[in-house]
Every structure is written in C-alpha cells, then in structure tokens.
Amino acid sequence: MICKYHTQFCNCVERMCTTASFKMNKCYLYPRQQPDMKQFYLLVGALLCGISLFGQQGRLTGKVQDASTGDPLIGATVVTDQMLGVSTDIDGAFILDVPAGLVEYSVSYVGYVTQKYSLTVEAGQEYTILVDLVLEEGLLNTIVVTGSKFEKKLGEETVTIDVIKSDLIEHTNDVRLDQSVQRMPGVSVIDGQANIRGGSGYSYGAGSRVLLLMDDLPVLTGDAAFPSWDFIPIENIQQVEIIKGASSALYGSSALNGIIHVRTAYPTSTPETKFSFFNGGYFSPADTAQKWWGDDFPFMAGANFAHKQKFGRFDLVTGSYIYAQNSYLKDIYNRRGRINMNTRYRISSNFSVGLNVNAQMSRSANFFFWNNADSGLYIPAEGTVSLNQGFKITVDPFIHYFDQKGNRHKLLSRYYGNHNETPGVEQSNFSDLYYAEYQYQKHIEAINLVLTSGILANQAHVSAALYGDSTYTAANQALYIQADKKMFNKLNLSAGMRYEFNQIGTLQESRPVFRAGANYQLADYTYLRASWGQGYRFPTIAEKYISTGISGLSIFPNPDLTSETGYSAEVGVKQGLRISNWQGMLDASAFISEYADMMEFTFGYYNTTGTAIAPGFKSLNIGDTRIQGFEVSFIGQGKLGSVPTSLILGYTYIDPTFQVFDSLQDALSSADYNVLKYRFRHTVKFDIESTFKQFRIGVTCNYNSFMEAVDAAFVDPIIPAINLYIIEGLQDYRDEHNTGDYVVDIRMAYVLKNSNEISLICANMLNRTYSLRPAMMEAPRNIMVKYSVRL
C-alpha cells in the first residue's frame, strides 16, 4: 500500500506512519476493512487535508551519483535550510516535499564534496534533479567502516586505522594476505600469527589476539581461532582496514589486539574483468653450502581471475585462484585452488539480499624446524614434516533492510567448514562453525548521533584426533551497543560496550567489556585522538585440549587454562600535508596495553603421568604483562612534479615486559632480563612506488630488530655433557645474527596497450639469510614474472 503523503511503502496495519527524515502530519490511512461512518469521515478528512497540504508545497525528486562513475550513492543526505531532509535509497534516489518559495538545500555524502543549491519552488509542482558528487581529495578523506560499523572519514576515527588499497596487493603480487598486512607499520606476522604492536608473540598455530574479518564476518577457524591467510580472495579486495588496539567492545574475544578487515570490491556501472598469470623461482642462498636442490629449481606459479558486473538490480562478484609451489625448504610444497562468488539482489529501494560463497581445496607439506645450522638451515629435522589435505568453505547469506525511518537492519550469517586430514599421523581435525548476527543502526540526524547495536551467536563443532580423538562444542553469544556523536562539527565522540558469554563443554564464563574514544579537529587536516578499550579473550579448544606430538616433542593439553583480560590505550595526532599535487598524512601515537593472565604456548618439561617428565609445548597463563611504545608513520600519494608517487614509511618501538618478573618467567625465557618472547623491539616499514609514463617501479624495505627472547629450551642443551640440543645450532645462529634483519624487495612493470601489463618482482634482492620465526628460514632471493590483463 502506498502512503499518499509520503510516496513510500506504508505498513499502517497496527499504527500510524510518519516520514523517515522530516516532520509532516500523520497519515490516518488504514488497511481495508468494513468501515463505519465515523471511519469514512476520517478518511475523507485526511484526503482533503493531504490535498490542501500538497497544494502549499512542491516536490524535489532526483538521484545522487558519483560524478566519475555514475554509480548511485546510497545513503546520501539531502537537507534544506529549513532542516527538512531525506536520505537516498539503494538506487541513489530521493523524494522530498518542501514549502513553496525559495528553497536552499545541500547534498552530501561521506568522502565527497558537499554541493549546495537554491531553487524557487512553485506550489504543486515537481522538480527532478540529478546530482553529481565529486570525491574529496586527500588521504584523510579515505572512507573506513571498521571502527564504527558505518562509513566515516579516516581522519575522524578515534583509533589508529591503516588502509591497504588493492593496487598495492596487485603490484606486489602477494599470494597471501599476511604478506600484504606486514607492509604496514606496527604489523608483523610470525609463521601465520598476526601481531600488532607487540600484542602477540608466537602461538604455534593456536589462538589469535587479532581478529580477521571478511565483509564484517570473522574468518577464524572454529577449533583454534587461527586465520587462514591463503583462503582470503585477494583478487577481489577493495581495501584492507587495520585497527590497532583492543576492539572487543564491538567485535568480541579475538579482537583483543586489533582487527584486520577485508572489504570486497563490488561492481560499478562498468563491468570489469581481470586475469593474471605468474611464474618464478628461488635462487641459491648466500651460503651456497646450504643449497640442497642441486640442479633442480624450486618454483612458484599461479593464476587468478576476477569479474564484477551489475545486471540491473543484481550484483555479481566472482573470482578464482590456483597456486603451486615447490619450496626452497626441502620436501615442502603447496598446491591450492579456490573459487568465490559474491551476489547481491536489490529487491526494492530499501531491501537487498545476497549470498557469498568461498571454497578452497589444498594439499601441502609443512615445515616445523630445521635439521642443523651448518648445512641444514633449509632442510627439515627428521620427523618434523607434516602433510595436510584440506578443504575450506564459507557460505554467507545476508539481508540488508532500511525501514521507513531510515534505520538500518542487517542480518549476517556464516557457515565455515574447515576440514584437514593428515595422512599417516593422527593429527586430522574437522571443525564446523555456525555464525549469525543481527545488527541495528539508527542515525539521529537532529543531534548528529549514530547508535549501533547488535546480538550474535556462534557455535563450533569440532571432531579431531588432534584433540585426543574427542568431540568438542564451543559456543559464544554476545550483545553490543556503540554510540558515535559529532559535536560542534569538530569533535567526534565514541563509546560502546559488549557483554560476552562463552562456553566450551561444561565450562562457562561471561563478562562485559567497554571502550571510549574522542577525536578533535584542531585545524584543516589536523586531528587529535585518544582512545581506551578493554580486551578479553577466552581460550580456544586447541589451547585447552590439543594432544599430539612431532619429532619426539609433545604438545600437551591444559584444561585448567583460563581467559585473559586487559586494555589498550592510545593518544595520537594525525596531520595532513600537501606539496603541490602530492598529499600525505603524518601520524604519531603513543600506546600502552596491559594483560592479566596472558596465554602463550610455552616450551618446557612437563609432568605428564605424575612421575614422568617430557619435553614439549603447553599453553600457559604466563602472568600479567605490559606493552608500551610509540609509532610514527607517513603515508602519501599524488604527483611529485609530473610523476605519480605513493609512499608508506613507519617506525614502531615497543617495550614488552612482565608486570612482575620472577624466577619462573626467567627460567622459561632465553633472555636473562624482563622481556616478552617472540617480539621485535624496533620495526621499520618502507614502500615507495612511482610511475613514469608506461613504466612503474617500486621498492619495499622492512627492518626487524633482533628477537631478544625465545623459549629457553630451544637454546639450552638437553644434555650439557654431550651438547645435545632440541634444535641444533639455534643458539649459534642467534649469536651470529644478533643485529636484526633487513630485507629489500623491488618491482618493475611496463603497461602495454589495451590495459595489458607485464611485471618483474624480485623479493629479497640482496639475498639476505634471515628468519622471522626461530629455526625456520625465510626465502632467499627469488624472482617472479607476472602478466595481467584488464578487460
């Protein structure tokens, strides 16, 4: 039924309707029923009132779109000088009734230049308007959604957020997402374990303090909460947003140390298709005595495809990826193939549904630690290679709906199946994760307030030989709410809370977490920010119940493991800069994080049967910790003279310590002073890329200082009398490489006609011998050739 006054769908079955964004008289139209005379007179009176009212008004109708692409801008705001307003629908369209006479109105959208107009409106007339909005220039106007679950300018966020654009991922030909995120200041990934500003060490594949999201949904395995970096469809990425600091209030347990959020690129008005093919190989290490492959040539090769297109109201994004590698590490290989599809159908101007699917099959052999440091750095120790045959799939149905008052409703869901078989050993695991979330968001434009709330539940079912041939169920439910308010057009305030309930088997736990932040614009492109957020992480099934072994070493369960809690706080300033046609933003921040009962896998000698002592790993609550430091970064893009140039430069310093350092922590660490294990105190990130006509060249340089502490059992002899070690040569290697590591990569490309491009990418150009995780070497110099075409 159409409301006569508002020309919107009216659901006046139980109540009267009002307009979404501006005041009008109430509509007394009711659904059909057997009327009496009183109802008849009310109906006639309402109709006459409506006719009289419309006779004193005119109507603005139109569409708001991107000036360069012609794509509709959903949620753009049209507001008159009399504070009458409306937001555009999913097609970018709007309808607004205004009083007759001179009307001044503005059209705005986050990240675009606001346009102002004036129009003399005659009573009873309708005016059709097409508004083209132009993107605002400047990196500070980059739009992000992760911090508040709605679109906001990067400069106005209350937390530190870094953004990786798809161009950087394509130009470097990163084959896994973790390779891309490590290019950003303060972010490290150690053997798959993400670490933001020293918040994590190395967890041997179980538990994560950094939450990996893909289109607002978590992508962590149900048993170990471990991110599968190669499962992310990097060929379809629009941008990656990285939040540094505790984000548990909005995102829950695994966001204790931060968030990495992957956003898919949806189609514009112009269809786009991309193909890429690449092939490359590894050169000999600097120490040729370490070369084990003789005349063979370890290689990597792959191809990917991506397509996105609009078909009327139907949006389609699809892609595929295949990859094959015979590694520079002996007996290690990787084969995987993945397909993905994102769909969205706009049923009406305020209602859309969709289904996203991502599936991958893989076979691999994985490396644990080297044979020896003399001639076996790239050769695995006996019995330490594990084989894996895997299948992963996510299926994500969703619904987005805007009600008559402009409030947003989102229903998100996901099934994540992660099935891994390990031929020959009892380490297989099968986990199925079910996730559902309802999100409600209300924009109160009169007071510049956005309220975001939600309720969610997820449940993981795990059956695995890896966990003692047992079946486990883990469940999580949560409620959250966050308020974001803008005051005086300069001050952005944010506050939120979340209540979590977690359960594994019969073990249950619940607690609230809170956060708050502020951002004040001192001047044009000068922003001060401060934030504080609590963190909370519940143990995973893997951390509590894993029971397996490798090469004579055991990995022990710890059913008594308890959750960790903490907080992080930050103060920072962001300053936008302009040099002719080149723009940049300088960011400086100081931060602190404290954790109570921090969980970490620790190598040692454990009592397993009451009498026997055996070497191995076990997840422990290692005590209360503190990580503090500062970070300075500069990110820029634009033209230096006539040369388009982009730059990323950052330095991060951390001081990771125990709040109380006792003899137990001293005994478990290779360092004889107070420092947390598996951290880099100093890191430097640098990337620059310039384009000269059809040529493009880029250079990346990363520096990590010496890893000051590892597990003591890795470097101390088991039997000192005969110098028998668990990992042969590790202490000697650390003594020789104790000044840190730097690695330089270079990339070059030539753009052919018709959008074809050929690239040459050289990683570790100086052929440095280095490792990020002790006893596992990183790649020697390797070169890759890539050909890509865009249709």
| pLDDT tens digit sequence for 597-625 | 998 888 877 876 665 677 788 888 989 99
At residue 140, the pLDDT reads 59
At residue 52, the pLDDT reads 45
Return the top range by mean pLDDT from 22-36, 114-128, 519-533, 553-567: 519-533
pLDDT at 383 over 90: no
pLDDT at 99 over 70: yes
When pLDDT is cut at 50, 70 and 90, the band that residue 628 belongs to is very high
37-51, 163-177, 569-583: the lowest-pLDDT one: 37-51
At residue 13, the pLDDT reads 32
pLDDT at 226 over 60: yes
pLDDT at 466 over 50: yes
When pLDDT is cut at 50, 70 and 90, the band that residue 117 belongs to is confident
pLDDT at 10 over 50: no
pLDDT at 219 over 60: yes
- Average pLDDT taken over every residue of the chain: 86
What is the CA angle 520-526-532, rounded to 5?
Answer: 40
Phi, psi of 650, rounded to the nearest 5 degrees: -155, 150
Better pLDDT: 580 or 431: 431
Mean pLDDT along residues 219-247: 90
pLDDT at 196 over 90: yes
> What is the bridge-based pairing of β-strands 582-607 and 548-550?
unpaired
**What pLDDT digit, counting tens, does each position of 274-298 carry?**
999 999 999 999 999 999 998 888 9
pLDDT at 748 over 80: yes
When pLDDT is cut at 50, 70 and 90, the band that residue 379 belongs to is very high
At residue 188, the pLDDT reads 92
Report the number of secondary-structure helices (H) and strands (E) in the chain: 8, 42
When pLDDT is cut at 50, 70 and 90, the band that residue 34 belongs to is very low
For the range 504-507, what are the long-range contacts, defined as Cβ-Cβ under 8 Å and sequence gap of 24 or more? 504/472, 504/473, 504/474, 504/475, 504/538, 504/539, 504/541, 504/544, 505/472, 505/473
At residue 40, the pLDDT reads 52
Mean pLDDT along residues 85-98: 84
Within 8 A by CB and 6+ apart from 355, the residues are 343, 395, 396, 397, 398
Q: What is d(CA 190, CA 196) in angstroms, rounded to the nearest whole number?
A: 11
Q: What is the pTM of this model?
A: 0.85
**What dihedral angle (degrees, nearest 10) is formed by the CA atoms of 223, 225, 228, 234?**
140
**What pLDDT digit, counting tens, does each position of 132-160 carry?**
888 776 665 677 877 777 778 888 898 99
Q: What is d(CA 497, CA 519) in angstroms, rounded to the nearest whole number?
A: 19
Percent of the chain with pLDDT over 90: 52
Residue 545 Ramachandran class (φ > 0 left, ψ -120 to 50 alpha, else beta):
alpha
At residue 612, the pLDDT reads 65
pLDDT at 14 over 60: no
Percent of the chain with pLDDT over 70: 91
At residue 725, the pLDDT reads 82
At residue 547, the pLDDT reads 83
pLDDT at 83 over 70: yes
Q: What is d(CA 340, CA 395) in angstroms, rounded to the nearest whole number?
A: 10
According to the 3-state scheme, what is the secondary structure of 148-167? CCCCEEHHHCCCEEEEEEHH
pLDDT at 505 over 50: yes
Q: What is d(CA 688, CA 636) in angstroms, rounded to the nearest whole number?
A: 9
At residue 48, the pLDDT reads 47
Mean pLDDT along residues 438-444: 93
Q: What is d(CA 525, CA 651) in angstroms, rounded to the nearest whole number?
A: 22
Question: Could you tell me if 442 and 407 are in contact, meaning their C-beta atoms sit under 8 angstroms apart?
Answer: yes
Mean pLDDT along residues 226-243: 93
When pLDDT is cut at 50, 70 and 90, the band that residue 7 belongs to is very low
At residue 536, the pLDDT reads 87
At residue 1, the pLDDT reads 32
**What pLDDT digit, counting tens, does each position of 637-660 carry?**
888 888 999 999 999 999 999 998
pLDDT at 22 over 70: no
pLDDT at 43 over 60: no
